[in-house]
Structure 1
Amino acid sequence: MGYKVEKTDEQWREELTDEEYRVLREAGTERAFTGEYTDTKTVGIYNCRACGAELFRSETKFESHCGWPSFYDPADSDAVETRTDTSLPGRPRTEVLCAACGSHLGHVFEGEGYGTPTDLRYCINSIAIRHVETA
C-alpha cells in the first residue's frame, strides 16, 4: 500500500504485545469498557501505538457511552484512512486505519445523533492508541 512506516510481520510481532498485534495488525477489537482511555479526560494527543503518528486530539474526544474512546474528528485530515469492512455478514462498517502504518484503529460511524460538529463517531480501540499529555 505504500505506507510511510512499513515493517515485516516479524518486526510488528517483536514490537507489539500479543494483544496489540491482534488489534492493530489483525483488525481485532478489545472488549467494550475495558480500554485504558475509555473515560480519559486529560488534555493531550492520541498517537498510533504501533508507529507513533498523531491521530486524534483530546478536544475532539467525547463521551458516547459505547465502551471505546470516541472522537468526532482526526487530528489532521491525512492522519487516518478508511475502508469498507465486511467482516460482519450483512453489516458493512467503515474501518479506520492509521494513515502512516496501516494499523487497524477501530471504526467510524455517521449520523448517530451525538450532536458533534462532524456528526461522526470514530470508535477507537484504546490499545491502538497512546495518550500523550500536553499542557
Structure 2
Amino acid sequence: MKNEHLSNSTIFPLGQKVEQNFIGDAYLQMVLADPTPLNTAIGNVTFAPGARNNWHSHHVGQVLLVTGGEGWYQEEGKAARLLKTGDVINIPANVKHWHGATKDSWFVHLALTPGPTDWLEPVSDEEYNKLKY
C-alpha cells in the first residue's frame, strides 16, 4: 500500500469517519465553514485505499485540491481520471460525479464546496473494479 502519501500529506487532522454517502473508510475534517469571506465550506477529506463517495452533484459546483496519494475522479458518461498530488479539479454546477482513492493508495484532497450537495447512488464495486491506471 502507498501509505507514505498519507503521512506526508496530512496537513490537517484526520477528522471524523464519514458514515453516510461513502463506501469504505473515509474521514472529514472541516477546515472552514464560515460563510465569510469566501461563502464556501472547505473540508479535508481522507480516503483509505478503495474508499470512494457516492455519485453526487453540487448546486454551485466544487473545486478539489489534491494534497496526497492517488485517486479517481469521474463525471457521468466520461472516463475516470487518475488524480495525483497537486492536481486541481474544477467541477461545474450540477455535474454528476464521484471521487475516491485508488485500490492501493490513500487519497487526500481539500474540497471547496460553496453550496448544497445532492447525494445519489453508490459507485458499485463492479464499476469501481473496472478502473485501470
TM-score (norm 2): 0.29
Which has a greater percent of helix? 1
TM-score (norm 1): 0.29
